[in-house]
């Protein structure tokens, strides 16, 4: 009903050249657990609307376009709606950018529904809770390992229905389930400064994969046991760095992010079509791997999988970078138009082709492998990366010992011709790609 009311308000408002309206209906349950006890539960029912209006003008014979985006709330009455639409049109009329068309109607691909479908989020919550806590009752791998447990866990599950319409007849709709869990696990640490130690992280999911949930808890408990016995990272270390999981996705995400048209158009990206992002000759000498990266519309188990982008552009895999050469860009359609490139859509997910190194080969040389950082980050502009270390392993290529503290820093431009990728693949954050990667040039600051 609100959609019809917005369309009516747009029809009554002079000056609208085009519009796009999205509706998101969400129904979700939330559990906040401390130890095993349910501290609080919450339920959310909401509908969010977002309207983008486009106003065309002409200057010096050139067709120009301005846009403005506003939130529409389901509690807006007709008079307020008319005011909001009118103000958005006024704001859009104040921007005079080169003209660009809206995406035309697309045929959405049929997607397999999530296995969560068929029950309400609230009905799944006790089952999810049980699965995550089952990982806690596994036997300790070694008798000398410190006892580890879940300190707290926040669990979210929502069903989300999205509908996108525009004034050019586009209409797309799809539903998705979004699960999210944030863990804190703890173990009794060594005497001294540390005392009890903890690790915190989170992941998203879209399928009721209970076996995986149990393993995810068990995996984190094993890691916090290592954290509990870790020694301070020594100073004076000069070793290559191995990253896994979310940090590996952040590193490879640098290339994906810089293949976005918004960054290309604003010249924030250093990449150009057909340009090399690596030097093959140097790479070969360093035993590195050439990067092949694709934008993905769907990664099994990832809640950001979608058949179309926020503009309603239909999505399917796009190869962005093949063997170290930029092949394509993705991003908002206006940038594609302005750069004279085909409209591919805007993607949140990506994949990276496997490298040439087995997991064991990557680890066969002395290295530092970091499992947990305080807050690992890669600067998209500069390629600078770094963070404080919460848990790492110092390895001579044969045996490894857990260490903590200190930090690593480096730059991806300086590492791009030596980066080594594992041939094993996994889902980490927004990436399906190498489970591990090695960066040869990093600066390591010890904690001692």
Partner 1 sequence: MPECSPSPWLESMRSPLEAIVAVLSRHFDYISVLGTDDSGFSCRAVPGETSASEPMWIQRGFVARAQSKGLVVEYSFNEELGDVAETSRRIGERLDALISAQAGGKLYPPLPDEVAEQRFIGRVAIDALSADPEPCLARLAAIRDKLLGAPGVVSAMARADFVRVSRCFISPGRDLFQCFDWSQAYLFGVARRAGLAKSSYRVASGLLGLEVLDLLEPELPGLATEMSDLLEAGHVEPGEYDVILCPDMAGTLAHEAFGHGVELDMFAKKRAKAAEYFGKRVASPIVNMYDGASGTSHVGSFLFDDEGNFGTKTEVIKDGILVGAFSDGLSALELGFPLTGNGRRQAYDHKAYARMTNTYFASGAASLDDMIASTRHGWLLDRLDSGMEDPRNWGIQLVALIGKEIKDGALTGRIASPVFCSGYVPDVLGAISMISSDFELSGSGACGKGYKEFVKVSSGGPCVKTRMNLG
Residue with smaller CB distance to partner 1, 142 or 267: 267
Residue with smaller CB distance to partner 1, 260 or 422: 260
- Contact status: 130 vs partner 1 (CB under 8 A): no
**Token pair in block for residue 76:** 């807006």
Looking only at residues 155 through 174 of this chain, which bind partner 1 when binding is defined by CB under 8 A?
none
Looking only at residues 271 through 330 of this chain, which bind partner 1 when binding is defined by CB under 8 A?
none
Contact 310, 69 (CB under 8 A): no
N-term to C-term CA, the chain: 64
Looking only at residues 388 through 447 of this chain, which bind partner 1 when binding is defined by CB under 8 A?
388, 390, 405-409, 413, 443-447
Looking only at residues 24 through 63 of this chain, which bind partner 1 when binding is defined by CB under 8 A?
30, 32, 34, 37-48
Residue with smaller CB distance to partner 1, 70 or 82: 70
Q: Can you list the positions of beta strands (E) in 93-194?
A: 97-98, 148-166, 171-188
Contact 376, 385 (CB under 8 A): yes
**Token pair in block for residue 385:** 């990366």
- Contact status: 89 vs partner 1 (CB under 8 A): no
Looking only at residues 190 through 229 of this chain, which bind partner 1 when binding is defined by CB under 8 A?
193-198, 200-202
The H-assigned helical ranges of 98-244 are 121-134, 210-229
Q: What's the closest the beta carbon of residue 41 comes to partner 1, in angstroms?
A: 5
What residues are paired with 222 via a beta bridge? none
Q: What's the closest the beta carbon of residue 229 comes to partner 1, in angstroms?
A: 14
- Contact status: 368 vs partner 1 (CB under 8 A): no
Judged by CB under 8 A, the stretch of 137-145, 341-349, 387-395, 430-438 that binds partner 1 is 387-395
Out of 154, 161, 207, 322, which residue is the one contacting partner 1 (CB under 8 A)?
Answer: 154
Contact 362, 444 (CB under 8 A): no
- Contact status: 139 vs partner 1 (CB under 8 A): no
- Contact status: 386 vs partner 1 (CB under 8 A): yes
Out of 56, 215, 338, 423, which residue is the one contacting partner 1 (CB under 8 A)?
Answer: 338
**Concatenated DSSP letters of 340-354:** T----B--SEEEE--
Radius of gyration over every alpha carbon of the chain, rounded to an integer in angstroms = 25
Residue with smaller CB distance to partner 1, 130 or 266: 266
Q: In angstroms, rounded to a whole number, what is the distance separating the alpha carbons of residues 216 and 25?
A: 30
State the number of CA atoms in the 13 A half-sphere of 223 facing the CB: 23
Helices (H) and strands (E) in the chain, counts: 10, 23
What residues are paired with 426 via a beta bridge? 433
Judged by CB under 8 A, the stretch of 314-322, 360-368, 382-390, 432-440 that binds partner 1 is 382-390
Q: What's the closest the beta carbon of residue 412 comes to partner 1, in angstroms?
A: 10
Q: What's the closest the beta carbon of residue 410 comes to partner 1, in angstroms?
A: 9
């Amino acid at each position: 009903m609100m959609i019809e009311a917005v369309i009516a308000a747009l029809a009554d408002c002079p000056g609208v050249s085009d519009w796009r309206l999205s509706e998101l209906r969400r129904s979700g349950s939330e559990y906040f657990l401390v130890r095993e006890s349910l501290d609080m539960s919450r339920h959310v029912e909401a509908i969010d609307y977002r309207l983008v209006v486009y106003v065309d003008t002409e200057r010096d014979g050139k067709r120009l376009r301005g846009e403005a985006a506003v939130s529409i709330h389901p509690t807006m009455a007709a008079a307020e709606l008319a005011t909001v639409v009118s103000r958005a049109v006024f704001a859009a009329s104040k921007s005079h950018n080169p003209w660009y068309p809206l995406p035309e109607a697309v045929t959405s691909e049929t997607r397999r529904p999530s296995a969560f479908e068929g029950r309400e989020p609230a009905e799944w919550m006790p089952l999810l809770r049980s699965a995550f806590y089952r990982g806690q009752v596994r036997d300790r791998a070694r008798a000398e390992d410190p006892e580890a447990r879940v300190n707290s866990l926040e669990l979210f599950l929502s069903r989300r229905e999205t509908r996108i319409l525009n004034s050019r007849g586009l209409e797309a709709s799809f539903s998705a389930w979004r699960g999210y869990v944030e863990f804190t696990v703890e173990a009794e640490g060594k005497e001294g400064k540390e005392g009890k130690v903890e690790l915190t992280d989170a992941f998203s999911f879209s399928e009721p994969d209970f076996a995986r949930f149990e393993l995810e808890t068990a995996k984190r408990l094993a890691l916090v046991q290592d954290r509990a016995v870790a020694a301070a990272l020594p100073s004076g270390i000069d070793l290559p760095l191995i990253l896994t999981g979310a940090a590996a996705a952040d590193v490879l995400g640098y290339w994906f992010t810089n293949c976005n048209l918004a960054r290309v158009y604003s010249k924030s990206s250093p990449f150009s079509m057909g340009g090399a992002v690596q030097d093959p000759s140097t790479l070969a000498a360093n035993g590195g791997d050439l990067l092949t990266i694709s934008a993905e519309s769907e990664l099994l188990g990832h809640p950001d999988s979608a058949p179309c982008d926020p503009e309603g552009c239909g999505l399917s895999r796009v190869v962005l970078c093949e063997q170290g050469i930029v092949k394509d860009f993705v991003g908002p359609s206006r940038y594609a138009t302005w750069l004279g490139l085909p409209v591919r859509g805007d993607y949140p997910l990506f994949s990276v082709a496997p490298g040439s190194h087995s997991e064991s080969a990557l680890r066969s040389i002395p290295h530092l492998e970091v499992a947990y950082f305080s807050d690992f980050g890669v600067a998209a502009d500069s390629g600078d990366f770094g963070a404080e270390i919460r848990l790492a392993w110092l390895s001579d290529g044969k045996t490894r010992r857990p260490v903590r503290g200190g930090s690593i820093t480096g730059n991806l431009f300086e590492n791009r011709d030596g980066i080594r990728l594992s041939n094993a693949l996994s889902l980490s954050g927004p990436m399906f790609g190498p489970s591990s990667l090695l960066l040869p040039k990093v600066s390591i600051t010890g904690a001692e």
